[in-house]
């Protein structure tokens, strides 16, 4: 039985690993991982629950609601008291007239927050959400990685966070959180209503959210990190050849992690291999255990397209790295120059 951890002050105890559904959302939308098979995706969700993972992370933006629909279908036949906690989000939307094959807008108006919640409840086939999170601060722009974006009206944090707090008071959601928000924004939100959880990107490559994790650690706020395997780079199976073969429908094909930063990232992965060998586990488990060992991190979101892929990393929830392991990883981070952020807490 996988150990569980208190999720901040929420009263929810979660397993160190949770199942992420971004990869299941299929093709035909911006930031897709490419085509998927719905039956295999449903089987993966059910297998994740069977292995003991007690929470699932999803969002309406993943496949224009398709990921949530798959989760709802996968859990429909599981007795309610055996179902995992469901975590979803709001704030990346395609409004009327938008080209839905293009990027969504960062919009967190009170009316869109409520609309997205009701749509998520319907797709997930549940009466409440265990954790409802804001994807990104509302900038009124198109969502983009490092590109110029269309400017629109932005909703102040105070307005959208109050809307989230109201939903919690109404019992529609059990806990509320912020993803991709900086410390100053977390402080502002905390003055309105407690930030139950944050969800930053965090891995042995992407370490720049360390200040936000530290803030959460000191404020009774749970932390679930996303992309702890850096979108496949830290699995130990990714190669330069595979990077060159990523299809046009795969968002990773043009991302710096898989292009200009690839050599340094793969060098860091190679440095993890001796540690994995000592523990008798795949490299992916070492990468996940590193993220889970960071003070303040409660859990890590990990995706998979098939049930078999889950078996490759699920053991990381019980893997404990030694002080020597962590020191060796810190040395490798500095030596390779991979990623950004502190090499150790």
CA-to-CA distance for 43 and 160, rounded, in angstroms? Answer: 36
> Which residues have CB under 8 Å from 234's CB, separation 6+?
203, 204, 205, 228, 269, 272, 283, 284, 287
Task: Report whether 178 contacts 203 (CB < 8 A).
Answer: no
Q: Within 13 A of 323's CA, how many CA atoms are on the CB side? A: 0
Q: How far apart are CA 179 and CA 66, in angstroms?
A: 21
The Cα 265–Cα 90 span in angstroms is 31
125-147 in b/e burial notation, b at 16+ Cβ within 10 A? Answer: ebeebbbbbbbbbbbbbbbeeee
Helix (H, G, I), strand (E, B) or coil at 177: strand
Q: Return the axis-axis angle of helices 110-124 and 157-169, rounded to nearest 10°.
A: 40
62, 85, 160, 226: which one is catalytic? 62
Helix ranges restricted to H, 224-261: 240-244
List, in order, residues 6 or more apart from 178 with CB less than 8 Å away. 133, 134, 161, 185, 186, 189, 195, 197, 198, 199
- Catalytic, 62? Answer yes
DSSP state of 104: P
Which token pair is 195? 């930030």
Catalytic positions are: 62
């Amino acid at each position: 039985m996988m150990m569980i951890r208190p999720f901040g002050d929420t009263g929810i105890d979660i397993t160190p690993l949770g199942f992420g559904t971004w990869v299941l959302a299929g093709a035909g939308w911006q930031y897709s991982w490419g085509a998927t098979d719905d039956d295999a995706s449903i089987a993966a969700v059910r297998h994740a629950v069977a292995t003991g993972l007690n929470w699932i992370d999803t969002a309406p933006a993943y496949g224009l609601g398709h990921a949530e629909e798959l989760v709802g279908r996968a859990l429909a036949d599981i007795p309610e008291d055996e179902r995992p906690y469901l975590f979803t989000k709001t704030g990346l939307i395609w409004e009327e007239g938008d080209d839905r094959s293009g990027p969504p807008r960062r919009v967190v108006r009170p009316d869109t927050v409520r609309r997205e919640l009701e749509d998520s409840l319907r797709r997930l086939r549940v009466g409440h959400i265990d954790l409802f999170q804001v994807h990104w601060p509302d900038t009124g722009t198109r969502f983009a990685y490092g590109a110029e974006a269309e400017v629109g009206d932005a909703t102040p944090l105070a307005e959208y966070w109050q809307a989230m707090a109201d939903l919690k008071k109404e019992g529609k959601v059990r806990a509320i959180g912020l993803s991709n928000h900086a410390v100053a924004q977390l402080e502002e939100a905390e003055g309105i209503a407690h930030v139950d959880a944050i969800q930053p990107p965090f891995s042995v490559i992407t370490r720049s959210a360390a200040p936000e994790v530290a803030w959460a650690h000191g404020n009774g706020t749970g932390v679930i990190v996303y992309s702890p395997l850096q979108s496949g780079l830290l699995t130990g199976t990714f190669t330069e050849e595979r990077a060159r073969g990523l299809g046009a429908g795969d968002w990773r094909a043009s991302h710096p992690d898989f292009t200009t930063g690839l050599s340094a990232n793969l060098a860091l992965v190679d440095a993890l291999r001796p540690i994995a060998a000592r523990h008798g586990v795949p490299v992916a488990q070492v990468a996940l255990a590193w993220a889970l060992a960071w003070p303040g991190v409660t859990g890590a979101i990990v995706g998979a397209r098939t049930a078999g892929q889950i078996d490759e990393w699920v053991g990381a929830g019980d893997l404990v790295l030694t002080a020597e392991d962590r020191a060796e990883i810190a040395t490798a981070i500095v030596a390779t120059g991979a990623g950004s952020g502190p090499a150790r807490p």
